[in-house]
Structure 1
């Protein structure tokens, strides 16, 4: 399953992002979940915590979580600082889907 985001992910928008992820996972049981942040311009600490929470939940249900971070430091840095280090990060959607 692929979920793509764009724009800003911060304390104001993360609750709706979380709801979208939870809704998608309730509809379909999936072995692989790809979160594509390549079109995100602001990736706040709240977004990194969201990915960490999704990673933990994915591990519990046996889902392989992959993150498309691109080469953007605005995605990679918060993830590496706030627990996303255990999540597979990829430069492109194609790379994440191939992995």
Structure 2
């Protein structure tokens, strides 16, 4: 898989998209690090549903980027097994 867009095209697709994060909740938990002598660290993140609705322009670059991120687990704290998200593409009926 490859991203077939330059930065300006991708920025335009992102700017035209609308984001609804009402389905997200903030999560916080502690994890003990054995390499740090049993020291615990607090990890924060979000869990739930984030809806991204593409704008009127070409949304393919945005969809490609989100798809690549879902394959690579491209979110924060990947070293702790986080960063995973599922991408569900929905089509609207005319």
Alignment TM-score, normalising by the size of structure 1: 0.31
Return the structure number with greater strand share.
Answer: 2
Larger Rg over CA atoms: 2
Larger proportion of helix: 1
